[in-house]
Structure 1
Amino acid sequence: MIRSKQLLGALAVAFVLAAAVVYGQDNQLVSEVCLGCICNAISGCNRTLTCSGDVCGIFRITWAYWSDAGKPVIEGDDPAAQGAYPRCVNEPYCAAATVRGYMARFRQDCNGDGVINCDDYARLHLLGGYGCGGNLTPLYQQRYVDCRSQFDVNS
């Protein structure tokens, strides 16, 4: 029951993020459903999460990750402005843009299967661009696999 609620939450976030397509962000490297599964795996898509320690938002993004992603900002903000990082990564659309920017920069076949897809993006998100061939944490892996199988993100 809890997994179903989490998966439904992931799908809800994916649909929220899909609204970005309407605003001209189509042809994206990472699908909205893939973003939803990554969100579910990393935080259960808990939209009440803000900053805790060095991670922020539903994607649990660090300042270094945000910077590597090109420092996206909410419309009208300035990446050099104080607070631009938490304002962005605590807001779902900007956080999704951050994940997409990171994936564009570090895009690679992390699992060695000859295909770059959501499985690789999930690894990149958790393990980073220089360590994505490593092992996923058991909880992250289980949440991701459950979501992936429910929503068929790699088809």
Structure 2
Amino acid sequence: MISKTLIACVLVLVPLIVNASIDDACLACICQVESGCQPLGCRWDVYSNSCGYYQLKKGYWQDCGSPGGSLQACAADKDCADQCVRAYMQRYANRCTGGRTPTCRDYARVHNGGPGGCKSASTIGYGNRVMSCYSK
């Protein structure tokens, strides 16, 4: 007989098993919305600098594993910036899905609002902008 504790543990772990792998089209749309997919320099935006293709901030870059040697270097290198966004999504996108596979809208809202961004009303407009690109 399976114990209630074992069942509870399995139910808690199931959401962690879902693979948060953002597809290339969604990644391209986030890049387009953030910068026109251009390697923009750093600029002050909501209490900190935002840099490069995805307008990465220092905390985001640190959470993605700090690739490329510095925020500025990684944000300006498309491959490094792509790697950073993919790693960030792998780390955080499952937090808002309740066990289902994340959608492009989920990824967009996490990118815009951080680990809990998909639950914040402030990221709805951003998610809609990304989805208008993604659905074409």
Give the structure-2-normalised TM-score: 0.71
1:65 positional shift: 0.2
2:88 matches 1:102: yes
User: Partners of 2:117 and 2:27 in 1: how far apart?
Assistant: 20
Residues 107, 143 of structure 1: alpha-carbon distance in 2 compared, 3 angstrom cutoff: closer
Letter in 2 for 1:123: R
Q: Whose helix proportion is higher, 1 or 2?
A: 2
Larger Cα-atom Rg: 2
User: Partners of 1:85 and 1:122 in 2: how far apart?
Assistant: 20
Q: CA RMSD in A?
A: 2.2
The residue that corresponds to 2:12 in the other structure is: none
Structure 1 consecutive aligned stretches of length 4 or more whose deviation exceeds 6 Å = none
Contact 2:30/2:130 (<8 A) preserved: yes
> Which segments of 5 or more consecutive residues in structure 2 lack a partner in the other structure?
1-19
Letter in 1 for 2:55: R
1:88 positional shift: 0.7
Give the structure-1-normalised TM-score: 0.63
User: Partners of 1:119 and 1:141 in 2: how far apart?
Assistant: 5
User: Partners of 2:92 and 2:131 in 1: how far apart?
Assistant: 22
How high is the sequence identity, in percent, across the aligned residues? 36
* Count of residues paired in the alignment: 112
Residues 142, 130 of structure 1: alpha-carbon distance in 2 compared, 3 angstrom cutoff: closer
User: Partners of 2:99 and 2:133 in 1: how far apart?
Assistant: 20
1:52 corresponds to which of 27, 43, 61 = 43
Letter in 2 for 1:69: C
The 5 A counterparts of 1:1-150 are: 29-45=21-37, 47-53=38-44, 54-73=49-68, 79=69, 84-108=70-94, 110=96, 114-135=100-121, 136=123, 138=125, 140-150=126-136
